[in-house]
Amino acid sequence: MAIEEYEHVIMECVSCGLCQSNCPIYKETKLESNSAKGKMTILYALLQGWLDWDEVAGRMYECTTCKNCQATCLSGLDIPSVVEAARAELVEKGYGHEVSKQIAENIRETHNPFGENPKKRNRLKELAEA
Amino acid sequence: MTDYRKKLSEIVPSENLVTDKVDRVAYARDLTPYFAVSDAIVFPTTREEVIDIVKLAADENIPITPRGGGASFQGSSLPVDGGIILDLSRMDRILEISNEDMVAVVEPGVRYETFDHELKKHGLTFPHDVGSHDAASIGGILASDSNGHHAYKYGRVGSWIQAMEVVLADGSVMELGGRPPRSNMGFNLMSLIAGSEGTLGIITKATLRVIPRPPVEASVGAFFDDLDDLIDASLAITMSGIEAGTLEATDGYTVETINDVMDFGFPECEANFVGDLQGYSEEDLQRKIDVITSILEEHGGKQVTVARDDAGVRRLWAPRMEIDVAVMETNPGYREIGFAAADPCVPLSKQAEAMREIGKIIRSHGLIAAVFCHTGIGIIHPAVLIDPQNRDHWKAMKQSEREIIDYVQSIGGVLTAEHGLGYVRNPYVREAIGDKALNFDRKIKEIFDPQGILNPGKMGLDREERDEGIEFTFPAYVEDKEIWE
């Protein structure tokens, strides 16, 4: 889904900052561009043409999409869906994250996101049982 | 990198200086319509770094905007003249909690709920229940002299500061107050700094008074067919002496909207009452509950309800706390805007009249309004929700703002009692406080900050307009000059 389709969500963010305290990334970095509030401002600026896709890419990948921000949002906004839509568009525009590319490659080649042999899947279970 | 940004990089480690455009943009917005991008965001972690940054800003004549959580409602922490954002969120240590002296010593970046959660372990509380919760930093709360939901019971935050360390505009440090609970030694400069919104100095440490934490609490709600009866009940609760934490009213539109969206089964009414009570024992709390429920029933309250569990408390507070969500659900794309008429205060005897009139003014311009009131202290919050892409809405909001402020002042009320003056209220400061007081304010500013580098563009101290030389978040925004000139 194109990011434009989420414009109303981006508009609805009132920048109150209640999302900050629950965000695992923000708590680590104390950087507004890592909070949901900051991301909505960044995406708003992108939609207005004040920022380009290549400028926003890095910050859009710094999100766990854990939905903690949604749980504390004054407006109940589904921020992770907006971030995921932005990421989908970033991939289309050629700004996919290197780690994501590697995971996709691993799944294609080994059917395992970590590139491990699928036959090892039960190893941890066996270890635990032992 | 400009010359001064290079010098900043010599004061703080690289991870504490942010100059990338995408990050500067993330700091450019708050609840107001403005979009103000700084040149740099710098994160000091020590008082010495704050001193060096301020000295650099003074040497280079660069604006410096202190920022805590960035939760301002009136543009107080927006860098309207660019320059440096001094983000204090990484100075976030709780330095001491003393049960013996009943104080806590904190750095400015400590968040409110984090602080109160830590106090809980000591059986203490900083009891103001600040509405921005963990979005608000202690430094921001003190610099704004905030109220909090419990201002009715505990007053404003400023009177709870026992000591303060302030970095002034020349980089010197002023120590105010001390550890004793009381001092009376000349001008109360702590009161001057509290509420100065970062225009006079930067708070780098504060000693705050704390109190024993009440172990039990409850919320009480009721519905009234007549708002006057609610206000009478509120006054009777005050006169009973039971010391509720807060007393609140919301209007009938709010209750109806919450009902439509959340299906709580609230009755049709003109107004909803909700309050909270704290107790130091079950007996203490029960006595208060008995008094408040009796008063509500005697004054015609319907569905008088006491709640102590999370779900019950949330239901009672839904009209007050969840109206924005409800309106957005029924009007996608709408949002609340921080406007200049967001928190006027009226004499207690005028509360019912003012709630009705303020709602009527906003709705007469075709806008959605949910009107709340802290009925113990006369503060009225009209939440105006608009479509920010609609020019007519912006125009209507500004017309409503002007009419509300005129009306409030005509009945002996004041422009603001909670959110401060910030940037949004620049055009209203002179009429609100008068020529004499504004001239004194400007002289005080001149003494503290002769270069005018600390948080410029705020509180009417160096300009009496807004919308000039600043970007707007929304292209549809209507400037003052388009309406008033």
How many whole angstroms from its chain centre is CA B142? 10
Asked if pLDDT for residue B247 goes beyond 90, the answer is: yes
What integer is the mean pLDDT of B210-226?
Answer: 98
Q: Do B132 and A16 touch (CB under 8 A)?
A: yes
Q: Do B134 and A32 touch (CB under 8 A)?
A: no
| SS3 state at B184 | coil
Asked if pLDDT for residue B485 goes beyond 80, the answer is: no
Q: Do A42 and B43 touch (CB under 8 A)?
A: no
What integer is the mean pLDDT of B315-330?
Answer: 89
Asked if pLDDT for residue B138 goes beyond 50, the answer is: yes
CA distance B429 to B459: 7
Angle between helices B323-330 and B310-321 in degrees, nearest 10: 60
Q: How many angstroms away from the CA of A103 is the closest CA of chain B? A: 27
Q: Do B473 and A32 touch (CB under 8 A)?
A: no
Which residue is associated with the tokens 């067919």?
B225
Nearest CA in chain A to B338: A14
Asked if pLDDT for residue B1 goes beyond 60, the answer is: no
CA distance B323 to B381: 12
What integer is the mean pLDDT of B436-446?
Answer: 98
CA angle B225, B228, B234 (to 5 degrees): 105
Nearest CA in chain A to B111: A21
- Quick check: A49 and A71 in contact, CB under 8 A? no
Q: Do B69 and A55 touch (CB under 8 A)?
A: no
CA distance B178 to B185: 11
Q: What is the pLDDT along chain A (130 residues), one digit of tens a residue?
A: 689 999 989 988 989 999 998 999 999 999 999 999 999 999 999 999 999 999 999 999 999 999 999 999 988 899 999 999 999 999 999 999 988 889 999 999 998 898 988 778 788 788 888 8
Residues of chain A neighbouring B22 (CB-CB closer than 8 A): 33, 42, 51, 55-56, 58-59
CA angle B278, B281, B284 (to 5 degrees): 70
Nearest Cα to Cα of residue B139 among B88, B84, B64, B100: B88
What integer is the mean pLDDT of B121-128?
Answer: 96
- The residue among B19, B23, B30, B471 with the most chain A CBs within 10 A of its CB, best to mutate, is B23
Q: What is the CA radius of gyration of chain A?
A: 18
| Distances from the Cα of B308 to the Cα of A30, B51, B221, B287, B318, angstroms | 34, 47, 12, 15, 15
pLDDT for res B193:
97
- The residue among A5, A6, A13, A16 with the most chain B CBs within 10 A of its CB, best to mutate, is A16
Average pLDDT, chain B: 96
User: What predicted TM-score, i.e. pTM, was given to this entire model?
Assistant: 0.94
Written as six digits, the tokens of A55 are: 């400028």
pLDDT for res A108:
93
pLDDT for res A12:
87
Model pLDDT for residues B147-188, shown as the tens digit of each residue: 889 999 999 999 999 999 999 999 999 999 999 998 889 999
Model pLDDT for residues B7-40, shown as the tens digit of each residue: 999 999 999 999 999 999 999 999 999 999 999 9
Asked if pLDDT for residue B277 goes beyond 50, the answer is: yes
pLDDT for res A75:
83
Q: Do B111 and A21 touch (CB under 8 A)?
A: yes
Q: How many angstroms away from the CA of A123 is the closest CA of chain B? A: 41
Nearest CA in chain B to A73: B325
| Distances from the Cα of B374 to the Cα of A73, B31, B343, angstroms | 23, 21, 10
Bridge-based pairing state of the strands B368-374 and B379-386: antiparallel
Beta-bridge partners for B271: B224, B251
What integer is the mean pLDDT of B110-130?
Answer: 95
pLDDT for res B2:
60
The three-state DSSP-derived secondary structure of B58-121 is HHHCCCEEEECCCCCCCCCCCCCCCCEEEEHHHCCCEEEEECCCCEEEECCCCEHHHHHHHHHC
CA distance A130 to B366: 71
CA distance B55 to B244: 46
Q: Does B182 touch chain A (CB under 8 A)?
A: no
- The residue among B12, B17, B29, B320 with the most chain A CBs within 10 A of its CB, best to mutate, is B29
pLDDT category, B52, cuts 50, 70, 90? very high
CA atoms within 13 A on the CB side of A128: 5
